[in-house]
Amino acid sequence: MTDLSARVDALLAQCDPATTAPQEFLRARFDAGLARVDYPVGRGGLGLDPVLQETVDRALSAAGAPGNDPDNNVIGLGMAAPTLLAFGTPEQLDRWLRPLWTGEELWCQLFSEPGAGSDLAGLATSAVRDGDAPDADWVVNGQKVWTTLAHQARWALLVARTDPTVPKHRGLTYFVVDMQAPGIEIRPLRQITGETEFNEVFLTDVRVPDAYRIGAVGAGWAVTQGTLMNERVQYTSGPAPRGSGPIGCVVEAWRAHPEQRTAGLQTRLLELWVDAEVARLAAARLGQQIAAGQPGPEGSAAKLEYARLNQAISSLELDLLGDDGLRYADYTTRMPVMEPEETKEPGWRYLRSRANSIEGGTSEILRNIVAERVLGLPAEPRADKNTAWKDLPR
């Protein structure tokens, strides 16, 4: 701990946050191993216990150090970084990890398709080598949907079909795609909140260098599973003080509206407070697990509970607000401002929470994962397990 404190002091002495440009400070922080202390040495970390990160963050925040825009780069920090660390080559880590962590380059995720949402392995977007050379470029064609922040991202995580003659899980390969490449078209999709946070993305003859391939050809499903496990954990793994977040909002509504209190609402509030505290403590443990490079199916259970809990809390908040809960200030089509949910309106929180049981894996699919991989129950029968993807009905 003494050595870690000395590192923090040395960084602040070298780069005074009051006089150092934010990007310059964040780059120096990464180079000092203080970006994420659990990252490998030379990759923004020191190979230490992830619980020590909170100490670093607290000290730097107290000194006025800049943040790395985590609300806008949640996919980069929560999904791209751990995927690169687990499966990327040294050259790929050199290129992408530092500007990802500093927030200089935002990321999105090109996974879901109109015909392959819950059944992601059934996707149809194709990647074909342009020539016989082992390092030849790939040419990608297809459509992706529900792509959060595609309109802002520089890079994308992409899973595409490279062999349609084998069963669907075995014919996939994982890539990083430059979102500024020719052939990419982004169209915004309007959400129930009025915002256009996510998009549909069309890829027409998009060239991807083989150097941007993550993992072996045909091994994309294993890399994809690593990304998805990190995605589900990141919904719930952020450090949070007791009583913060959505449950804190509903407590404030309880205090502000004594005229709305009933015994039934009080019982609901107490039950949700207990559930939120259990979820917070479980999330803290999961955060340590993922920081140690061990995301697992437990993240699916945590994300499943997060969706249920968030929707129940937002519903109770509107009940406590009465008629005021129906107010919604701005329903115009607009780009969202990415900021913590507790800073938004109660009506926004209620509407946005409807997506929690869809995004990052639907609750129905997550129940299957928990049943099979956590509880050990028999898997559902699969008629397509040994059938070539090209022969599957669509």
Domain spans, the chain = 2-67, 76-218, 235-374
User: pTM to 2 decimals?
Assistant: 0.84
* Residues ≥6 apart with Cβ < 8 Å to 347: 318, 325, 326, 327, 328
The verdict on domain 76-218 having CATH code 2.40.110.10 is yes
Position 96 scores a pLDDT of 98
Percent of the chain residues past pLDDT 90, beyond the cut: 62
- For 24, the token pair is 């310059």
* Segment among 28-32, 45-49, 248-252, 329-333 with least mean pLDDT: 329-333
Q: How confident is the model at residue 64 (pLDDT cuts 50, 70, 90)?
A: very high
- For 350, the token pair is 């209620």
Task: Identify whether the C-beta of residue 290 lies closer than 8 Å to the C-beta of residue 338.
Answer: no
Q: How confident is the model at residue 386 (pLDDT cuts 50, 70, 90)?
A: confident
Q: How confident is the model at residue 54 (pLDDT cuts 50, 70, 90)?
A: confident
- At 223, the amino acid letter reads V
Q: How confident is the model at residue 330 (pLDDT cuts 50, 70, 90)?
A: confident
User: Average pLDDT for residues 300-323, to the nearest whole number?
Assistant: 90
Position 150 scores a pLDDT of 94
Q: At what angle do helices 346-353 and 246-256 cross, to 10 degrees?
A: 140
The verdict on domain 235-374 having CATH code 2.40.10.10 is no
Provide the β-strand partners of residue 113.
Answer: 116
d(CA 250, CA 243): 10
The residues carrying an active-site annotation are 231
Residue 247 has pLDDT above 80, yes or no: yes
Q: Please write the tens of the pLDDT for every residue from 185-229.
A: 999 999 888 888 889 999 999 999 999 999 999 999 999 998 987
- For 363, the token pair is 């609750």
Q: How confident is the model at residue 372 (pLDDT cuts 50, 70, 90)?
A: confident
- DSSP secondary structure code for residue 116 in this structure: B
Residue 304 has pLDDT above 70, yes or no: yes
Q: How confident is the model at residue 113 (pLDDT cuts 50, 70, 90)?
A: very high
Q: How confident is the model at residue 232 (pLDDT cuts 50, 70, 90)?
A: low
Residue 329 has pLDDT above 80, yes or no: no
| Chain mean position to CA 201 | 18
Q: How confident is the model at residue 239 (pLDDT cuts 50, 70, 90)?
A: low
Position 26 scores a pLDDT of 96
Most confident of 139-143, 192-196, 331-335: 139-143
Q: ∠ CA(40), CA(210), CA(131), 5° rounding?
A: 165
Task: Identify whether the C-beta of residue 95 lies closer than 8 Å to the C-beta of residue 176.
Answer: no
Task: Identify whether the C-beta of residue 218 lies closer than 8 Å to the C-beta of residue 284.
Answer: no
Tell me the backbone φ, ψ of residue 393, rounded to 5 degrees.
-70, 140
Reduced to 3 states (helix: H, G, I; strand: E, B; else coil), residue 171 is coil
* Segment among 81-85, 138-142, 167-171, 336-340 with least mean pLDDT: 336-340
Chain length of the chain: 394
Position 303 scores a pLDDT of 85
Task: Identify whether the C-beta of residue 253 lies closer than 8 Å to the C-beta of residue 321.
Answer: yes
d(CA 53, CA 336): 29
